Structure 1
């Protein structure tokens, strides 16, 4: 393949015989001078328009830095925000259990291995969806993964934004929004400690909560979206479910950022494994923009 180039680019308006630009004439001479084609092109060319920055929360974004989360959680201190909570571990046993609803009433920052992390306070969740959020044989345990979804308005947003927060359950506590011993601050800790520290008139203003460490928050300005199976079946057929022992390249311990960035090998490298388990007769029932996919198996 050969390529050629010239000092002066070929411009469409020169090929058509149209000359764009001003003509500069000298008073003492009859002959008019014109600028070279390249100079005229430079004069006539407009400076490239500066790319306008995207408006805050106008597209899906991922937040994980402490300063970002502080801004996102600020509305919790102004007013309680209704939220839904999900225990992914329970979904492997029952689609009804492990779903709850509560109010986000505050937050703070604590250091975990010298790294500041956001801790959100949520009123004791009520069961939702016909099941039990916390069955008697499946109590919440410290370190269990949880997911929060809620809608609220934050600074610079043009309207309510839908958020998906991922983190870990820490403990059950007692929460007092206004600490009488520390003006402008809240108090959170074990109920037993609260009963020893505060009078009854202060305790009646408190409530039982759960504390959740939040690592990442996704924003969806258009709200939760989904594509159901009736639409998908027009475009997809012959779906298979591939099960990678040990999780393959997707077995990531960190919840920071997009873990797909760590998968640098082609998918073929994983598919060609001999110990791979394949399940046929898979039907994709639903895609959700929050990252969930619902599958069914034909019998």
Structure 2
């Protein structure tokens, strides 16, 4: 019987950490998986002597993954200029809904993966995002972060500080998860009953709805602002929702909804709720972003 390779086991045990890091940096599971695969490819491209010379393989893997994510982020803006419609981070389910069989591929859910948080991250420069996530979420020192972004520790501190201000300025007042769940449940019931008055009462007057179909399915190309305009848009698209079953699910660690057709998830809805009202709705319909919800 072949003895287990302790070094290999230790290296592969870093996979979940790397997936979690890359998803938070990129907002895309597919891109995160590509980055982690490339990170391991670079590790195994080295000789055994070169690997043994690395004092902390975990730190080395994180550094390489961080640099790869920085490269992806730097090119993402140009790629998204050709993206059809609005780009929304890829939604992830909770562990009970997660389709990949390997637990190492699952994203740990906390406030750093909420849809609202990821949307704010997407407004940052690539260097801000990397410095902030590595320091504030994963607790790396600015000296370590400097090796990833290619700047001084002092500059990385400034990047993280700037990113922190963006997050603070965009944060909605905290709403208990139980209350969020009730608002989402009320929205589901009101929509199923086509109760316009109830829906208006649940939406903030200046609420925004954003849809991401990625050009692969019909979608609303621009954000819809204002409660009445959102309801008008829903009414115009009502034919699309016929045959859909709405289910309450956890979306990026927060109460959300999924729409299923013939048992297959076709849309995922994330919400930002503050002051008992729905402030934002993110609707993801791009099939490429629903793999974690639909893959067998």
Q: Which has the higher helix share?
A: 2
* Higher normalized contact order (CA 8 Å, seq sep 6+, divided by chain length): 2
**Greater radius of gyration (CA):** 1
TM-score tier (shorter): under 0.3
TM-score by length of 2: 0.27
Larger strand proportion of the pair: 1
Normalised by the length of structure 1, the TM-score is 0.27
